[in-house]
Amino acid sequence: MTSAIERLLKHEAAGGVALMAAALLALIVANSGFAGLYNDVLAAKLSITIDGEGLSKPLILWINDGLMAVFFFLIGLELKREILEGKLKNPRDVALPGIAAIGGMAVPAIIFAAINWNSPETLPGWAIPAATDIAFALGLLALVGSRAPTSLKVFLLTLAILDDLGAILIIAVFYTAHLKVTYLLLALVPLAAMGWLNARGTHRVSPILMLGIVLWVLVLKSGIHATLAGVLTAFFIPLKDRWGRSPLHSLEHGLDPWVAFFIVPVFAFANAGVSFSGMSINAITSPVTVGIVAGLVLGKQMGVMGATWLVVKTGIAKLPHGANWAHIYGLSALAGIGFTMSLFIGGLSYTDPLLMNEVRLGVLVASAISAVIGYAVLMAVSRKDEEDEEEVEPALAE
């Protein structure tokens, strides 16, 4: 029984399934008799103060600013590992997914901005459809199984990682409130200390993590979004310590299940609760909802597919080994699953509850459509490839 549970949790699709289950539960609760309790708990203030000074935020902001900093910390660990020894080490291997990621971010943002251009109130959400949810997209690709080329998973993973890096830069540049320079200068102190520990190849990560918490508080107070402190802290975790062991690998391995099965589902449960009570046709046809759906469904397909076609046709790079254009189209559809990052950026874009309800609706609808299209296309291509192989084998035998 225990081994079966362990195998289930280690399955590549498990994180995506947990995320979907949390989102579905949020929808059920938000439209049930527990809706009032759901909203009251998320709005409840939680304070950590010393002599009147400290932090006081609603629970949902502790989740979005605090727990998600751990999520971004894990992304930072993955980025550092991939840059130093993985898929991002060789610039030539990054060219195709990198340009595809840029196209997959730019086109959805342009589509959303075009639809909301005459609405200054909603235009700040232009980056909502620019993101891709790694767990969701890889989970669905894992359900296709070995029938999809292994290179396709590498392509999607690299694209999604670069997509997340782009989202981090967008948050830092475009979603920063009024800067408080004093706190930014103070933040240099823990950064310098972490840099010293990293340079020494320390094998104990707890001092770096403690400094990372200090950095998180200072960054939060400075006006820059606090989750960026998670990424910065991750880059100071040594890849190798003085004895040749890898603190980064150990921390990433230990943190991954907590993020996949606790932090991301909690975030989804807190942010995916769309209330259909009193929802009119205006919510479905609003510029925000339409912009998100058009951006994630059409924009991602156009951006990823178009950029990939351009790179391949100009000879800059080749298609992933064993993949064809139908595979790339299915993958570009999966890239339209924006879920976690799209909801996160939506929360940074709007404070109006009605607009946030439209964001949730748009993200859920668009992610569902993208998931169905991507999965259906990849399964159809895989079945056709299997049929072609079955036809070739008798011919070779003859």
Give pLDDT tens digits for 132-148: 877 677 777 777 766 67
Please report, for residues 150, 232, 386, 391, the alpha-carbon distance to residue 146 in angstroms, rounded to integers and kept in the order given.
7, 36, 11, 20
The three-class DSSP label of residue 349 is helix
SS3 219: helix
Both tokens of residue 131? 């993101």
Cβ–Cβ < 8 Å for 238, 198: yes
Instruction: Tell whether 272 is covered by a domain.
Output: yes
Mean predicted lDDT score pLDDT of the chain: 83
For 153, list phi and psi in degrees, rounded to 5.
Answer: -65, -45
DSSP 248-300: HHHHHHHHHHHIIIIIHHHHHHHH-----TT--HHHHSSHHHHHHHIIIIIIH
Query: Quick check: 124 and 69 in contact, CB under 8 A?
Result: no
- The residue written with tokens 């751990």 in the block is 70
What is the sign, positive or negative, of the torsion defined by CA atoms of 200, 204, 210, 215? positive
Contact 317, 94 (CB under 8 A): no
Residue 46: strand pairing partners: 57
Structure tokens at 158: 């690299």
Q: What is the CATH number of the domain that holds 197?
A: 1.20.1530.10
Number of Cβ atoms within 10 Å of the Cβ of 242 = 10
Rounded to a whole number of angstroms, the distance between the first and last alpha carbons of the chain is 48
Quick check: helix, strand or coil at residue 53? Answer: strand
pLDDT at 11: 58
Number of compact structural domains in the chain: 1
* Residue 278 backbone class (left: φ over 0; alpha: ψ -120 to 50; beta: rest): left
Residue 166 lies in a domain: yes
Q: Is residue 393 part of a domain?
A: no
**Which residue shows structure tokens 């929802």?**
279
Q: Which of 36-50, 203-217, 367-381 has the lowest mean pLDDT?
A: 36-50
Summarize the confidence of residues 241-248 as an average pLDDT: 86
**Does residue 302 carry a pLDDT above 90?**
yes
What pLDDT is attached to residue 128?
Answer: 92
Compute the distance between CA of residue 33 and CA of residue 171 in angstroms, rounded to an integer: 36
At 2, the pLDDT band (50, 70, 90 cuts) reads low
Q: How many Å apart are CA 205 and CA 123, to the nearest integer?
A: 42
User: Tokens 């009570």 correspond to what residue?
Assistant: 277
Question: Does residue 260 carry a pLDDT above 70?
Answer: yes
Q: Are 275 and 359 in contact (CB under 8 A)?
A: no
Instruction: For residue 398, tell me if it sits in a domain.
Output: no
Question: Which residues, at least 6 apart from 82, have a Cβ–Cβ distance to it below 8 Å?
Answer: 88, 89, 158, 161
Spatial separation of the C-alpha atoms in residues 239 and 241, rounded to whole Å: 7
Within 8 A by CB and 6+ apart from 56, the residues are 45, 46, 47, 48, 49
Identify the three-state secondary structure at position 140: helix
pLDDT for residue 301 is more than 90 = yes
Residue 152 forms part of a structural domain: yes
Q: Judge whether residue 396 has pLDDT over 50.
A: no
Would the pTM count as exceeding 0.85?
A: no
Residue 149 has pLDDT above 70, yes or no: yes
State the average pLDDT over residues 313-325: 87
Residue 7 identity (one-letter amino acid) = R
In a domain, 249, yes or no: yes
Decide: 372 and 365 in contact? Cβ < 8 Å. no
Q: Could you give the percent of the chain with pLDDT greater than 70? A: 89
Q: Structural domain of residue 251, as residue ranges?
A: 11-387
pLDDT at 201: 85
What contacts 216, CB < 8 A, 6 or more positions away? 66, 69, 226, 229, 230, 233
pLDDT at residue number 189 = 93
Q: Is pLDDT of 388 > 90?
A: no
Instruction: State which of 14-18, 74-78, 157-161, 205-209 shows the largest mean pLDDT.
Output: 205-209
Q: Does the pLDDT of residue 126 top 60, yes or no?
A: yes
DSSP 357-392: HHHHHHHHHHHHHHHHHHHHHHHHHHHHHHHHHHHH
Where residue 217 falls among pLDDT bands split at 50, 70, 90? confident
Whether 394 is covered by a domain: the verdict is no
Rg (CA), the chain: 22
pLDDT bucket at 56, cuts 50 / 70 / 90: confident
CA–CA gap between residue 107 and residue 264 (Å, rounded): 26
pLDDT tens by residue, 71-123: 888 888 888 888 888 777 777 778 888 899 999 999 999 999 999 999 999 99
List strand residue ranges (DSSP E) for the chain, in order.
Answer: 45-50, 53-58
Question: What does the pLDDT read at residue 227?
Answer: 75
